[in-house]
Structure 1
Amino acid sequence: MAFENPDREEIKQLLVESKIIAVVGLSDNPDRTSYMIAEAMQKSGYRIIPVNPNAEQILGEKSYASLTEVPEQIDIVNVFRRSEHIVPIAEEAVKVKAKVLWLQQGVYNEEAASLASEQGLTVIMDRCIKVEHAILVPRNH
């Protein structure tokens, strides 16, 4: 069966209930899309946890080499990596018991989606978290 993203109402609920977003592939370069989107989500009230083995700190938060090193419960794993690198990230997301595996716009991997959803994670692919948040969650929330 072909993959389908959750409906908008479910996505809205996930965004409203979530507090901590681990961003895999978050760049420490303010000109990169991952940085701009993570910064926007941080300004919207989310705690951003950078997952980038090449940086010590991004957006004022300690950066981790992998999801399994993050000492807190992660709500959403937001991924800025190429589609072919997603399966190991999905495996880590399952290990840390994240609630959502969210692959950014342009990122799509059916194998990773199956693996994560079979373990109870909600999977969203090829969607921008910042755009969805802007559309679905009113500013005064």
Structure 2
Amino acid sequence: MYGDPATVRKILTELGDTWAIVGLSSNPGRAAHGVAAVLQRFGKRIVPVHPKAETVHGEPGYPSLSAIPFPVDVVDVFVNSSLAGAVADEAVAIGAKAVWFQLDVIDEDACTRTRAAGLDMVMDRCPAIELNSPHLR
């Protein structure tokens, strides 16, 4: 299992409400777009991170995590598994508290590095699904 219930709950309810969403664009057909909307409904501040640095759901975008000029609590990763490790490393470098790899995003080495750096980590799960689950309420 890539995210025990206690870690999922901690990330969603205790670690802060600023979520950088890597891979979030203005394309409403992409999963990141819908998940970002759910996170906003649950009171999270979303920060789009995409090379195009587009404004999404009313929030300005940034081309990278390091370009964000304020603290980020959680980094939610919507990129291919082959790219996810570098994103996790950047999350550690900017001082994030947790990294969340979305469904089908798995990188065991990145998970090990991220946890060794003291961050909480979840892989292959979706916060929009978890926020709506009865065990979280």
Q: Is residue 2:85 matched to residue 1:87?
A: yes
Matched with 1:60 is 58
Deviation at 1:72, TM superposition (A): 1.5
- Which whole-Å CA distance do the structure 2 matches of 1:5 and 1:27 have between them? 26
Q: String of CA shifts for 1:19-77, please: whole Å, max 9, x gaps.
A: 11000001211121110011111111100000011133111111001101111111110
- Which whole-Å CA distance do the structure 1 matches of 2:69 and 2:53 have between them? 17
Q: Where do 5+ consecutive residues of structure 1 fail to align?
A: none
- Which whole-Å CA distance do the structure 2 matches of 1:13 and 1:123 have between them? 10
In the TM superposition, 1:66-85 aligns within 5 A as 66-85=64-83
CA RMSD of aligned residues (A): 1.3
- Which whole-Å CA distance do the structure 1 matches of 2:7 and 2:104 have between them? 21
Q: TM-score, normalised by structure 2?
A: 0.92
Deviation at 1:137, TM superposition (A): 3.5
TM superposition outliers: structure 1 runs of 4+ over 2 Å: 4-7
Answer yes or no: is the 8 Å Cα contact 1:28–1:55 preserved in 2.
no
Q: Where do 5+ consecutive residues of structure 2 fail to align?
A: none
Say if 1:66 and 1:55 are closer, same or farther in 2 by CA, change over 3 A: closer
